[in-house]
Amino acid sequence: GANVATVPQGKTLKDYQEVYNDIAAKIEENLDYDGGAGFYGQLVRLAWHSSGTYDKNTKTGGSYYGTMIFYPEASDGANNGLANGRDFLYEFAVKYPWISRGDLWTLGGVVAVQESGGPKIPWRPGRVDSYEKKDIPENGNLPDASQDGKYVRNYFKRLGFGDREIVALLGAHCLGKCHPENSGYDGPWGPSFNMFTNDFFVRLLGSWHVRQWDGEKQYEDDETNSFMMLPTDIALKEESYFLKYVKLYAADQDLFFADFSKAFATLLELGIEYPRGTKPFLFKTVEEQE
Ligand code: HEM
Ligand SMILES: Cc1cnc2ccccc2c1N
């Protein structure tokens, strides 16, 4: 049957806000991780890759079963490095044995966006751990960064996203960095990678050139040579159906935040059915609770 959200007995917003606060505190204790990027990018990518395996045609994949700890998903090259995010969160799976992996990993992404200055992300619990092979998506369902805009458009069609949502979601590339040991891409080295802003779009509209180095084809900015873009990032300015939203978001951070919040919340819930009227939680940031 469908993947129906099943909330652990008696758990309410208060219980999940406690988990949120623990994750936020641990992020604060590790701000120097990864050359100053902290864990923001890592946790957002873990939430996204837990969900991005979804295929609306076969109704497989998505965040519901929390299967990334199992082969073959754990060894999909696209997931290289994400054990760091899973290991970061593991102590909370032990401390809160009632929370599922899927709920913990997607919640980690919500904490990372909100605590790095990003928009509130509506979030609903109820993902259920699976230990069955049939629930593990096959590898190859996550996107390839070396491709062009038509590829990007087609990839996200499988998840049910349109042009505007695709551009909004890619704005998460304001956080974190690339690691040659994970993906063969490298950088950026600028200080912008631990704050959730529309910086990705503002920078993208600048001028870029192909970096001369021995790694994967990637771009660096003409001005400082210290920022980077992937081919699929640059693709957003090469296709007119994407470029118009890049310009919109570069000019209006509030609009980017509103669109990102909707698209990211939808991404994290792909493939999950919620009983009618299940209201999402809106978590307070640490700052809002002081
Ligand atoms: C066309 C689709 C996409 C492609 C090809 C892509 C590709 C990549 C690659 C190659 C990396 C570097 C990984 C590493 O070397 O550690 C990366 C990092 C990242 N991606 Fe994407 N990505 C895509 C979409 C997304 C989306 C939709 C999100 C979230 C909404 C996202 C969030 C991130 C974040 C936060 C990082 C930084 C991770 C870290 O700092 O460890 N990406 N992406
Ligand atoms: C500025 C920028 C551009 N692209 C990225 C792709 C993946 C990860 C981080 C990125 C990033 N900080």
Mean pLDDT of the region 92-99: 98
CA distance 70 to 160: 26
pLDDT band at 190 (very low <50, low <70, confident <90, very high): low
**Å from CA of 72 to ligand 2 middle:** 26
Map out the domains of the chain as residue ranges: 13-141+267-289, 149-254
From 48, 49, 123, 173, the catalytic residue: 49
Tally Cβ neighbours within 10 Å of residue 77. 12
Q: Which residues line ligand 1 (CB under 6 A)?
A: 37, 41-42, 44-45, 48, 81, 143, 145, 152, 169-170, 172-173, 175-179, 182-183, 185, 230, 232, 264
Mean pLDDT score of the chain: 97
pLDDT of residue 257: 98
Determine contact, residues 172/257, Cβ cutoff 8 Å.
no
Ligand nearest the Cα atom of residue 188? 2
Question: Identical fold at 13-141+267-289 and 149-254?
Answer: no
Ligand nearest the Cα atom of residue 176? 1
Tally Cβ neighbours within 10 Å of residue 217. 13
C-alpha separations of 172 from 89, 94, 116, 136, 245 in Å: 20, 29, 11, 26, 14
**Residue 171 class from Cβ within 10 Å (0-12 exposed, 13-18 middle, 19+ buried)?**
buried
pLDDT of residue 90: 98
CA 184 to chain centroid: 19
Per-residue tokens: 123: 């979030």
151-179, pLDDT tens digit by residue?
Answer: 999 999 999 999 999 999 999 999 999 99
pLDDT band at 59 (very low <50, low <70, confident <90, very high): very high
ipTM score above 0.85: yes
**Stated pTM of the model:** 0.98
pLDDT at 1 > cutoff 60: no
Going 235 to 146 to 105 to 199, the CA torsion angle's sign is negative
Partners of 228 in the β-ladder: 220
Percent of the chain with pLDDT over 90: 97
CATH topology (fold) of 13-141+267-289: Peroxidase; domain 1 (1.10.520)
pLDDT band at 2 (very low <50, low <70, confident <90, very high): confident
Domain 149-254 has CATH 1.10.420.10: yes
DSSP 186: -
CA 266 to chain centroid: 12
Place of tokens 């993947």: 3
Mean pLDDT of the region 79-102: 98
pLDDT at 218 > cutoff 90: yes
Mean pLDDT of the region 76-105: 98
pLDDT at 7 > cutoff 70: yes
pLDDT at 64 > cutoff 60: yes
Partners of 187 in the β-ladder: 178
pLDDT of residue 143: 98
Determine contact, residues 265/122, Cβ cutoff 8 Å.
yes
